[in-house]
Chains A and B, each alone.
Chain A
Amino acid sequence: MPENRNDWSDDEFRARFRAWLAEHYPDAWRQTDRRPFHRLRGEGLRECMRLLHAHGWRAPAWPREFGGMGLSFRKQWIYQQEWERAGGARTVEPGETHLAPTLFRHGTAAQRTHHLPRILRCDDLWVQGYSEPGAGSDLASLRTRAVRVGEHFIVNGQKIWTTQAAESTHVFALVRTGQPGQYPKKQQGISFLLIDLRSPGVRIRPILNLAGEDELCEVFFNDVRVPVADVVGEVDEGWAVAKSLLGHERLWLGSPAMAARALGIAQRLVHECGLAADLAVTDRLAQLQADLHDYRALYTRECDRVADLGVEPGPEASLLKVYVTELLQRIVQFSVDIAAEYGGQTGDLRLGDWTLDLHWPYMMARPGTIYAGCNEVQRDILAKTVLQLAPQRA
């Protein structure tokens, strides 16, 4: 077994990861002012994860017995901070962050033995298949159906917003296995199913988004055969399996990194546009700076609490995501506003020797308030759980 990096002090851990990133992390994968929230995908993602794996920096949250780093929450947080400080690309790798924790808790020994090493090595790239055209924030309304025939489920239906499905190999999906009318609540009769995207009957169509990226996909299932052994947890109990995923995700969703990067650009833009003496502009900038400053204090407080007390973040932590995603939108709006006609320009923009893109981050700031439970739903939940206001319908 490799050395246990949890044994290092927090300071040493920070210093060594920072040094490693400086030495080994390729510039091509860093954030730029053209692509300030750059995200790796496909082969780039594989290469990045394999590089981390080769140097023992892969899967910081996994227990060591499964090949992860087994880091304490505080060290995971430091890991995150250093990654963001180095301008590391954003990554979406639900195999590591979502499926694996589900398998730790609900998977069989055979499922763990088969899948976990393949995830670590990026032999398989997983995507999350939850949302459907009629089941977004109201996920439990999902209709993709799996009918058991012998030792297989036959899957029919459609998933949507499956990030990076086109370059991935597998999807973990929520599908309806209960009979119509079998259960009183729509959260019942759902199963958590592992599906090979290369199976016959799977069709994937990328969706172009407002920033010109095609990460999001639709996935169609037409009589797709999935072995019964690929159900995680009990059949019809998939809702509970999927819900147990959340955990620290509520905190990572609240990371101030994107807002900080956008604000860095906004600050420079004020100077490049010759507006540093315009009080209307600098007052708005100061407000945004103070907002980020205060938000960092709140984010730090919540992370400290989880690190110090060893507790899981509760529903109150979702206020982080609500605030920071909207802050990011206010920052990119500010940049577009002060840039005058340049604010309407799409694609690269050259101001002196500075090349940036205002439109790309403006559009990439949109989905944060929509995904992972849109902010309206998050506010509903916060009102109920934190403020103890009655649900809207009795």
Chain B
Amino acid sequence: MTQAESCAHLLRDAASDFLVDQAGTARLRGWIARPRPVERRLWRQTAELGWTGLLLRESLGGSGLPMADAVLLSEVAGRYLFAEPLVACAVMPALLLAAADAGENSELTARLAQTLVEGQRMLAVAWQEAPGELDAESPRCEVAGNRLTGRKCFVPGCESDAIVLVWARLGGEAAWVAVDAQGEGVRCIVEPAGLSSQTTLRFDQAPVLDTLALLRGDAARHALQRTLAGGRLALSGELVGLAAGALAQTLVHLRSRQQFDRTLGSFQTVQHRCVDLHIEIELARASLQQALALFDATSPAEISPATDAAICAAKARAGDAAVRVGREAVQLHGAMGFCDEVDIGLYLRAALHANAWLGGPVALRRRFATHSIDISHA
């Protein structure tokens, strides 16, 4: 076993133990059509475990671990239905702050990094302005005179006291600025989504923190790309975890539940469906690992077409797999699968949100295809 592999094992085991002990699924029930707030006690605990600062380098108070570990952690989070916004409020802000570290406002960056590492307040990333957007190259939100005006949508983990990192236009170029959600001129409309929430933000002359941008121009644009790419990778990990968790739980059920004097799992039609679900998960894992190997979280350059294509394929596959496994797992659990008290429906609900967010399979595959990578040979 290589050192990286044994570190990964340690991380996986520690994370699984923590989630099994501390993050039971009872907290996730009863929230249909109501936004479930972030479980702040749990969030602080994960911060103490170093999860929120996992990707930040040590000088910013983080652990400086590679992207592969963030993906691994996200997978464990999916498998055990952590359901707190690890990708949205830890992985993505960390990638953005890592890029901003070299930017023009290192003092603010350091303070935001500290907030992320401590986990007392949430950091939310607001980049999207319309449904189905994959990259938002030209934001309409605008900063003028150190005040932000515009609208952002589908922001997970945007608690009322969050600090929001906003993708906006500033003096004719793109920029990242930070805004206090509690400050004047900010209105949050929180909607229930998946097992938690997503927020629409309206900014009306909202003051920008420190009156300075974190990043501007090409550096800001590349940081957006990297934040989205890394977010998609980690979210793919979470989706793979959701799929694997739902299938594992289903297999346990099928091995034990008896009908017609035999276990459900001994019926061929059930077996074949499970094999197909297993194959989908293996494809998703393989696609994700390949995309991960191409992604360099630390490079300030643009994401290459081949890397972007691989990430799009991985997220599309992982999303399809998680939703399909979740859906079929409900069926394979029979009437119990339709009951709120069985966890299997939580997997499906979580998958629906994670699949839709940061690009659904159809849109991602269209983008994958536009890169027209030569697929005829390996």
Q: Which residues of A contact B (CB under 8 A)?
A: 81, 84-85, 256, 260-261, 263-264, 282-283, 285-287, 289-290, 292-298, 300-301, 319, 322-323, 376, 379-380, 382-384, 386-392, 394
Contact = CB atoms under 8 A, between A and B. Distances in A.
A297 B289 contact: yes
A287 B365 contact: yes
Nearest to B283: A294
Contact of B369 (A84, A285, A389): A285
B377 A260 contact: yes
B282 to A, nearest CB: 6
A130 to B, nearest CB: 24
Interface string B272-295: 101110110011111101100000
Given A264-B376, A282-B369, A292-B375, 6 more contacts: A256-B378, A293-B373, A297-B287, A297-B289, A376-B272, A379-B275
B301 interface: no
Contacts of B286: 294, 297-298, 300-301
Interface stretch (B9-17, B135-143, B178-186, B261-269): B261-269
B251 interface: yes
B362 A389 contact: no
Contacts of B309: 293
A294 B317 contact: yes
Contacts, number: 122
A283 B316 CA distance: 13
A85 B283 CA distance: 23
A216 B265 CA distance: 37
Nearest to B367: A286
Given A323-B279, A389-B265, A289 B289 contact: no
Contact of B272 (A81, A295, A379): A379
B86 interface: no
Interface in B328-378: 362, 365-366, 368-369, 373, 375-378
A263 B368 CA distance: 16
Residue with the greatest number of chain A CB neighbours at <10 A, chosen from B251, B254, B287:
B287
Interface in B308-337: 309-310, 313-314, 316-317
Residue with the greatest number of chain B CB neighbours at <10 A, chosen from A286, A287, A297:
A297
A293 B314 CA distance: 9
A4 B321 CA distance: 45
A311 to B, nearest CB: 15
9 closest cross-chain pairs (CB), A and B: A383-B271, A298-B286, A389-B265, A286-B369, A297-B290, A294-B287, A297-B286, A286-B365, A390-B266
A287 B291 CA distance: 17
A86 to B, nearest CB: 10
A323 B317 CA distance: 14
B111 interface: no
Contacts of B378: 81, 256, 296, 300
B254 to A, nearest CB: 6
A187 to B, nearest CB: 21
Contacts of B275: 319, 322, 379, 382-383, 386-387
Nearest to B271: A383
7 contacts: A287-B365, A293-B310, A295-B283, A301-B286, A382-B278, A386-B275, A388-B255
A293 B317 CA distance: 10
Nearest to B365: A286
Nearest to A287: B365
Contacts of B265: 383, 387, 389-390
Given A256-B378, A289-B369, A297-B289, A392 B268 contact: yes
B318 to A, nearest CB: 10
Given A294-B283, A296-B378, A383 B274 contact: yes
Contacts of B290: 297, 300-301
B377 A294 contact: no
A233 B227 CA distance: 61
Nearest to B374: A264
B268 A380 contact: yes
A283 B274 CA distance: 26
A207 B274 CA distance: 36
Contact of A298 (B263, B270, B283, B369): B283
B377 A85 contact: yes
A388 B251 contact: yes
B226 to A, nearest CB: 22
A283 B362 contact: yes
B251 A283 contact: no
B71 to A, nearest CB: 15
Contact of A290 (B262, B271, B274, B313): B313
Nearest to A279: B366
Contact of A392 (B266, B283, B373): B266
A81 B366 CA distance: 28
A293 B368 contact: yes
Nearest to B377: A85
Contact of B289 (A84, A301, A379, A383): A301
B245 to A, nearest CB: 15
Contacts of B285: 298
Contacts of B368: 286, 289-290, 293
A311 B18 CA distance: 34
Contacts of A297: 283, 286-287, 289-290
Contacts of B313: 290, 293-294
B271 A379 contact: yes
A295 B283 CA distance: 6
A290 B265 CA distance: 31
A391 B365 contact: no
Contacts of A300: 286, 290, 378
B268 A289 contact: no
Contacts of A282: 366, 369
Contact of B282 (A283, A292, A319): A319
A144 B331 CA distance: 45
Contacts of B279: 319, 322-323
